[in-house]
Structure 1
């Protein structure tokens, strides 16, 4: 069954390989890093304009609202954004030794995550898992949190499918959250997700939807888990597709919070 689904995906993928990438204003500079996972190609494009210590990362190629909001921020304030480009879809799809594989690119940063979240037919080759971990390492190295001092990611979600309520007691992601603060005047799909209490406290004071990841969160291979394991401050701006103005507002609050705690050098 997975092979049938995979074949159908390849047909659809052929229609979107010329994915429309966000426009770049003329003063921007670009740099690229290339990842190859067997027959699957990923291009990491770093867009820079007046670099100032603010750096965004986008790991899903179908989440363009975050990219556009990041560009809007950079246009007026300067900064950098790394965009993952691989055909305008969410997951990685590839084949190896006639077997088909699929994985969320936000699950490739730990061995446990790759092992538990890799979707395949019957068996998984250790070589495939090593290749995925290598791809995750290349993404991290290109972002370079050692010099940046943090991770600042941009994600988008669908209306009503995922949001702040998902982390409340009794819901699917409750065990992932240590603390949750809700501004009931905001759309529940628009939120900020952090791994450090000091960041949570600042964003709570700013009266925005915010989640603090639990130190006991399951190892799902996500970048937030990797960041917590490696003591790297992590902040994710998660906004519903199309909420461009709110995405930019939350980006500005996220950057202000990082600066408040000395994680970004002030201009």
Structure 2
């Protein structure tokens, strides 16, 4: 029997829309993300901290009934291991932020060890971002997070360009966005919202800072760990009301 010819690169590109050619995972260094797809929406969703179980569960359920592409980290811990060093994955989107995180989480590490981790991330950072980031102007990236007593909207308000505190008594539930038009919508919601549009002077390596620098529509949904009903409610409100 004649063996079928191998697919050429041109054919793979031409038929890349077929479901069996779409990757189900994407990875960089110690970070591996599962990809969930539903429909053809330009909404991208991200769950980046493995120990934030409420956010993961809410996003998985959301993707069953809402269109978009979701990226969910597969590890169960907050930090990743890169070349033997711990790293906060939401600090890996710049070299400056990565260095700060590596030093803080690995105080006994050497410059050579940290540089090895940096080089590993350098090889895959932009590839990861090309998947995470939505089409310019048309799409939006929505990150889902959980917090604890140590973090709330009150930490973000002083460094924000605008704030709408509709639920000041519930500071752990809030939206953080980078686009003024999105903030105009979110500020009319019954929830807390802050706008961080200006390019930040300090680069902490987070996705929100990168989105502000690149003028990308980004919304971070923060809710207290364990409050699944509230996070589900806010994510549905966001999806229904944000263009």
Q: Could you say which TM-score interval applies, normalised by the shorter chain?
A: 0.7 to 0.9
**What CA RMSD, in Å, does the superposition of the two structures yield over aligned residues?**
2.3
- 2:204 aligns to what? 220
2:232 aligns with one of 218, 223, 248: 248
1:201 aligns with one of 184, 200, 211: 184
Does 2:32 match 1:35?
no
TM-score normalized with structure 1 length: 0.72
- 2:64 aligns to what? 75
Corresponding residue SS for 1:184: coil
- 2:220 aligns to what? 236
Q: Deviations over 1:67-90 (max 9, x none)?
A: 22122222233433211112x000
Corresponding residue SS for 1:251: helix
Taking the TM superposition and a 5 Å limit, the aligned residue runs for 1:60-209 are 60-86=49-75, 88-95=76-83, 100-119=84-103, 120=106, 121-124=109-112, 125-146=114-135, 149-158=139-148, 160-168=149-157, 174-175=158-159, 177-184=160-167, 187-209=170-192
* Gapped regions of structure 2 (runs ≥ 5): 1-21
Count of aligned pairs between the two proteins: 215
Q: Deviations over 1:6-63 (max 9, x none)?
A: xxxxxxxxxxxxxxxxxxxxxxxx84334353xx4x3211112334333311111111
Structure 1 segments of 4+ aligned residues over 4 angstroms from their partners: none
* Gapped regions of structure 1 (runs ≥ 5): 1-29, 169-173, 260-267
